Structure 1
């Protein structure tokens, strides 16, 4: 499993960003290898969001990014702000008992 973390700084209308992200989320959810994601909103800075997405493997993630349909999603999000995307490998997870 890999985890994709993308920090967004929204410079356009936040409601438009959230709508564009929702459409992008639906696109990714239909792709092979997608497991789940969460969109987090910063408590003190309303312009900051973080997307945390889990994928079965990097190949599936890269394949989804390479789909021609993704270009429109990428353009819509980039028009509304900047992002800092990175891939991570989970190292430790602990849950409450």
Structure 2
């Protein structure tokens, strides 16, 4: 499993960005190997977001990025926000006891 983390700094309308990201989310949800994601908005700076997505493998993630239908999504997001995308692998995970 890999985790994709992408920080966004919105320079356009946050409402438009959220709509564009929702469409991108629907695109990724339909791709093989997608496990799930969370989009977080900064509590004090509403134009800052972090997307955290889990994929079965880096290959699945890269195949989704290479899909011809991804280009328009990337273009729409770039028109509204700058981003800092990175891929991570799990080193440690701990949850609260039940």
User: Same fold by TM-score, threshold 0.5 exceeded?
Assistant: yes
Once the two structures are superposed, residues 5-47 of structure 1 have per-residue CA deviations (whole angstroms, 9 ceiling, x without a partner) of: 0000000000000000000000000000000000000011111
Distance 1:22 1:46 in 2: 17
How do residues 15-34 of structure 1 correspond to structure 2 at under 5 angstroms? 15-34=15-34
User: What is aligned with 2:42?
Assistant: 42
User: What is aligned with 1:2?
Assistant: 2
> Structure 2: which 5+ residue stretches go unaligned?
none
Q: TM-score, normalised by structure 1?
A: 0.99
What number of residue pairs does the alignment pair up? 97
- CA-atom RMSD, angstroms? 0.4
User: What is aligned with 1:78?
Assistant: 78
User: What is aligned with 1:69?
Assistant: 69
Distance 2:28 2:22 in 1: 10
Distance 2:90 2:45 in 1: 27
